[in-house]
Amino acid sequence: MERLTINVAGLLQEASGTARRLEIDDFYPHWDEILLVTPISGNLELYRAGKGIVVRSNLSTSIELACCRCLEPYDQRIQVDFDEMYFPVVDLATGSALRLEYDDIEPEFLIENVDRLDLTEAVRQHIEISQPLTPRCQPECLGICSECGADRNSLLCNCEEQAVDIRMAPIQEMLQQLGQNTSA
């Protein structure tokens, strides 16, 4: 499914404290800016609380990122854990409008349609903020050689050794001269 929607009509009519758990295994949205390599899966816990519903997300997925050191694409595991509270705009028992009571609540946390509490955007935002600032294909990624451009994870070039040799050359020469002087 491309959207993560939940029917909360039943839960909204339950007493505060009522919990419900849902397994999610085939949420596979298509987003331009996030490339999912596996469906988003895990579980959602919903709690009836006060006038609304608390949604606890325990979801995870893998997205494709480019390593900041070697620039190669790799699969990054992302944990989508959050707690958010959602409020219905209509009291299901009386049918009266509740919207005015929630003047200070962001529209995305209002339940406009009890058949379709849509968590797609909430999940997208949490994946976005959960991305590492410096993505790495592996913790010890060796990156790209600044001399020859080789990916040093797969090809160990000799540039670094040669660079060390060049830097050491004058010192070695000096040491040689010192050796000659003292032996003379």
Chain positions contacting Zn ion, by CB under 5 A: 67, 69-70, 137, 141, 145, 147-148, 150, 157, 159
Q: Which is nearer to Zn ion, 70 or 122 (CB)?
A: 70
Q: Which is nearer to Zn ion, 155 or 178 (CB)?
A: 155
Which residue carries 């009836």 as its tokens? 48
Beta strands in the chain (DSSP E): 5-6, 19-27, 40-49, 52-66, 73-88, 110-111, 117-118
Minimum gap (Å) between residue 31 Cβ and Zn ion: 24
Q: Which is nearer to Zn ion, 20 or 136 (CB)?
A: 136
Tokens at 3, concatenated: 């959207």
Q: Which is nearer to Zn ion, 11 or 157 (CB)?
A: 157
Q: Give the Å distances, CA to CA, from 81 to 31, 49, 62, 108.
A: 19, 19, 14, 18
**HSE-up (13 A, CA, CB side) for residue 44:** 24
Minimum gap (Å) between residue 166 Cβ and Zn ion: 14
* Cα–Cα distance measured from residue 2 to residue 108, given in angstroms and rounded to the nearest whole number: 18
Minimum gap (Å) between residue 62 Cβ and Zn ion: 16
Q: Which is nearer to Zn ion, 12 or 63 (CB)?
A: 63
In terms of C-beta density within 10 A (0-12 exposed, 13-18 middle, 19 or more buried), how is residue 124 classed? middle
Minimum gap (Å) between residue 133 Cβ and Zn ion: 15
* Cα–Cα distance measured from residue 46 to residue 21, given in angstroms and rounded to the nearest whole number: 6
Minimum gap (Å) between residue 151 Cβ and Zn ion: 8
